[in-house]
């Protein structure tokens, strides 16, 4: 059977529409990702467009991987399509090629949340201001808002309560530029800057893609919307799929208004609604429809009325309790009762919470009642301190402009290089920390020179082998700096941390088998 024949009428209409920009309003469980994958397959099989000339953007790496898998299987491809990707990965790829046009080296470093906070902390310390008022988390949130909304006037609003904020932002940006580093939002912002300042480069990237598709459009922010406008230009070659009722990422800049603005920014837009739900029962959809039926103004015409053939279903209960402690007791009693009287197992239950701190009362109630539980959603593997320590050695050796990597490892484990020595080294820094270390060497105390000599020898080894043989190099680093001994002397859970380090060796061994370099792996792990 032809793939198109398996679709319902609205899905089929969305897949076959090419005469204008298309906005697909798709409810939960309505097969929206299916529409995108089938449209890619149709473009390749029926319109003879190369898969490498189709840009499909999803919101998460997991969604991108799943979409690649479906497309590879359906088209019998030998390798993954390179342009089924996320916004951040797309922008990183563009900047790896074009970064020099906006003053960066192509080997720029991507700073994660922790790196960004450390830069802010350093800047606040330099300015000698109250770090209780100018907390890194708070400053970082403001900087994110500025970048995600393409609006530097936001800084003026916050400057009423934080008058040093403009200077902090200025120095933060300068510090990243000196380190040849970008934070996550810079990846997007710098592509907008690149395209607007270099029309010929924009034209080159526009010509790369014959068709563009975007999933979860309600979760895009203003910068991402702007990037799409630039890449599409005045063409009709775009389909976006989204549902403003499903926007859950406003806390990190998502702007569901992008759906409302889509028709204005892409004239002649056709709207198709996917309202048939394949996932939920009638009772669930009845409640969902009731909740979203109160939409007003411009949103009213975008509201979907979901329906299903799956009649009946379990009842939904809304239990209102006066305090969080009573809520915890209710949950505990309900679980215990169902396990005792109705044959359920503890592993059959999930408790979803809005924010992590709300778990405390529930966890305490579980402990008191003897209910075993597991908290999902702790630190990601590559965010763990011991992993970041070893990766920082590789990062610094291969990218010696990386200030945060340098500061993380120069005295880790402690090697007698104190704050005064580091300040002396900083006095020699221009654009390369390795050069600064060599220039400062003769000015340092003998003890520091000995430590520094060992450090520089290690860095030289990493520079020689780290990019092509990262697993062997990581093992060498751990042995030379006696990192496992350091963990044992410092942490009660040192055995778990050592196990994590050995898992890192396995991950790096897989990188070698895949034919990727360490720097390619580093970019992927930064964007995951």
Q: What is the pLDDT of residues 440-474, one digit of tens each?
A: 888 888 888 888 898 999 999 999 888 888 899 99
As a whole number of angstroms, the distance between CA 211 and CA 202 comes to: 16
Let me know if residue 284 belongs to a domain.
Answer: no
Predicted model pTM = 0.78
Same domain, 401 and 361: no
Residue 102 lies in a domain: no
How confident is the model over 402-423, as a mean pLDDT? 89
Closest CA to 453 of 478, 444, 428: 444
Measure the CA–CA gap between 524 and 67, rounded to whole angstroms: 17
Instruction: Report the CATH number at residue 78.
Output: 3.40.50.300
What 8-state DSSP symbol labels residue 81?
Answer: -
203 and 75 in a common domain: yes
Buried b / exposed e along 394-403 (16+ C-beta atoms within 10 A): bbbbbbbbbb
Last residue of a domain, one of 369, 403, 425: 369
24 and 72 assigned to the same domain: yes
pLDDT value, residue 281: 87
Q: Is the pLDDT of residue 295 over 80?
A: no
CA proximity to 263, closest of 16, 22, 19, 35: 22
What is the tens place of the pLDDT at every residue in 181-219? 999 999 999 999 999 999 999 999 999 999 999 999 988
Most confident range (mean pLDDT) of 5-9, 48-52, 370-374, 510-514 is 48-52
Position 1 pLDDT exceeds 50? no
Looking at the structure, tell me whether residues 63 and 161 fall in a common domain: no
Residues with Cβ < 8 Å from 424, sequence gap 6 or more? 440, 443, 444
Is the pLDDT at 14 greater than 60? The verdict is yes
Among residues 369, 400, 430, the one where a domain terminates is 369
Contact 281, 310 (CB under 8 A): yes
CA atoms of 475 and 505, how far apart (whole Å): 7
Q: Is 246's pLDDT higher than 80?
A: no
For residues 519 and 394, state if they share a domain.
yes
Q: Is there a single domain that holds both residue 361 and residue 484?
A: no
| Residue 133 φ then ψ, to 5° | -80, -45
- The whole-angstrom separation of Cα 381 and Cα 525 is 10
The C-alpha atoms of residue 96 and residue 108 are separated, in whole angstroms, by 8
Containing structural domain, residue 245: 3-92+189-278
Residue 198 lies inside a defined structural domain of this protein: yes
Tokens 């998460």 found at: 60
The total domain count for the chain is 4
Mean pLDDT within 405-427: 89
Residue 288 placed within a domain: no
214 and 84: one domain? yes
Contact 473, 390 (CB under 8 A): no
Domain boundary among 179, 201, 220: 179
Q: Mark out the alpha helices in 320-358 (DSSP H runs).
A: 324-342
pLDDT at 298: 58
What integer is the mean pLDDT of 307-324?
87
The pLDDT-based confidence of 356 (bands split at 50, 70, 90) is low
Q: pLDDT exceeding 90 applies to what percent of the chain?
A: 53
Angle between helices 385-398 and 518-527 (to 10 degrees): 130
For 254-312, give the DSSP string. --THHHHHHHHHSTT-EEEEE-B-SSS-HHHHHHHHHHHTT--GGGGGG----B-S---
Q: What is the average pLDDT across 300-321?
A: 82
Which of 272, 204, 211, 268 is CA-nearest to residue 237?
211
Which SS3 state, helix, strand or coil, does residue 149 take?
Answer: coil
Is residue 173 in a domain? yes
Residue 324 binned pLDDT confidence (cut-offs 50, 70, 90): confident
49 or 311, which is more confident: 49
CATH classification of the domain holding 514:
1.10.486.10
Please tell me the predicted confidence (pLDDT) of residue 517. Answer: 85
Query: Tokens 């798709």 label which residue?
Result: 26
pLDDT exceeding 70 applies to what percent of the chain? 95
> Is residue 171 assigned to a domain?
yes
> Residue 9: pLDDT above 70?
yes
Give residue 528's pLDDT band: very low, low, confident or very high (50, 70, 90). Answer: low
Q: Give residue-wise pLDDT tens across range 150-191.
A: 888 888 888 888 899 999 999 999 999 999 999 999 999 999
Contact 36, 242 (CB under 8 A): no
How far apart are the C-alpha atoms of 208 and 212, rounded to whole Å?
11
Q: Is residue 293 part of a domain?
A: no
What does the alpha-carbon distance between residue 264 and residue 392 come to, in Å, rounded to a whole number? 46
413 preceded by a cis bond (ω within 30 of 0): yes
Residue 302 domain flag: no
Q: Which two tokens stand for residue 48?
A: 């003879």
Residues 6+ apart with CB under 8 A from 250: 256
Query: Residue 313 belongs to what H/E stretch?
Result: none
Q: What is the pLDDT of residues 97-122, one digit of tens each?
A: 999 999 999 999 999 999 999 999 99
- Indicate if 123 and 251 belong to the same structural domain: no
444 with 510, same domain: the answer is yes
Q: Which of 43, 48, 55, 51 is nearest to 16 (CA)?
A: 43
- Examine the domain organization and report whether 156 and 196 are in the same domain: no
Looking at the structure, do residues 441 and 476 belong to the same domain, yes or no? yes
Considering the domain architecture, whether residues 468 and 342 belong to the same structural domain is answered as no
């Amino acid at each position: 059977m032809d793939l198109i024949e398996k679709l319902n009428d609205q899905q089929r209409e969305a897949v076959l529409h090419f005469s204008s920009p298309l906005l697909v309003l798709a409810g939960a469980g309505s097969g929206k990702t299916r529409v995108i994958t089938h449209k890619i397959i149709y473009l390749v099989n029926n319109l003879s467009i190369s898969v490498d000339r189709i840009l499909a953007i999803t919101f998460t790496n997991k969604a991108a991987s799943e979409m690649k898998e479906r497309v590879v299987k359906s088209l019998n491809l030998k390798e993954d399509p390179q342009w089924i990707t996320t916004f951040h990965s797309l922008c990183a790829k563009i900047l790896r090629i074009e970064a020099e046009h906006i003053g960066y080296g192509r080997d720029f470093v991507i700073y994660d949340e922790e790196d960004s906070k450390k830069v802010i902390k350093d800047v606040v310390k330099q300015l000698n201001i109250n770090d209780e008022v100018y907390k890194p988390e708070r400053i970082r949130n403001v900087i994110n808002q500025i970048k995600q909304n393409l609006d530097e006037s936001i800084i003026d609003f916050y400057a009423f309560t934080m008058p040093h904020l403009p200077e902090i932002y200025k120095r933060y940006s300068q510090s990243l530029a000196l380190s040849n580093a970008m934070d996550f939002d810079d990846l997007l912002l710098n592509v907008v800057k690149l395209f607007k300042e270099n029309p010929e480069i924009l034209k080159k990237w526009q010509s790369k893609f014959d068709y563009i598709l975007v999933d979860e459009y309600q979760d895009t922010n203003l910068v991402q919307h702007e990037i799409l406008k630039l890449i599409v230009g005045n063409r009709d070659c775009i389909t976006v799929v989204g549902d403003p009722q499903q926007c859950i990422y406003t806390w990190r800049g998502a702007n569901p208004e992008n759906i409302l603005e889509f028709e204005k920014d892409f004239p002649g837009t056709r709207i198709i609604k996917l309202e048939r739900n394949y996932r939920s029962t009638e009772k669930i959809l009845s409640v969902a429809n009731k909740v979203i039926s109160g939409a007003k103004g411009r949103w009213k015409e975008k509201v979907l009325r979901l329906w299903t053939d799956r009649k009946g279903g379990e009842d939904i209960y809304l239990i209102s309790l006066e305090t969080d402690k009573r809520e915890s007791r209710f949950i505990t009693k309900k679980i215990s009762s169902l396990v005792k009287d109705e044959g359920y197992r503890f592993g059959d239950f999930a408790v979803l919470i809005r924010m992590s701190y709300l778990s405390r009362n529930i966890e305490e109630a579980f402990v008191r009642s003897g209910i075993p539980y597991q908290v999902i959603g702790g630190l990601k593997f590559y965010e763990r301190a011991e992993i970041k320590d070893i990766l920082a050695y590789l990062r610094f050796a291969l990218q010696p402009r990386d200030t945060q990597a340098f500061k993380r490892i120069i005295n880790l484990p402690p090697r007698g290089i104190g704050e005064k020595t580091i300040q002396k080294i900083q006095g020699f820094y221009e654009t390369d920390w390795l050069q600064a270390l060599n220039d400062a060497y003769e000015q340092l105390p003998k003890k520091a020179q000995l430590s520094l000599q060992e450090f520089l020898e290690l860095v030289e080894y990493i520079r020689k082998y780290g990019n092509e043989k990262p697993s062997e190099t990581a093992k060498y680093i751990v042995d030379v700096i006696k990192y496992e001994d350091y963990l044992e002397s410092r942490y009660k859970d040192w055995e778990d941390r050592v196990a994590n380090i050995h898992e890192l060796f396995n991950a790096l061994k897989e990188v070698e088998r895949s034919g990727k370099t360490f720097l390619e792996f580093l970019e992927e792990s930064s964007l995951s």
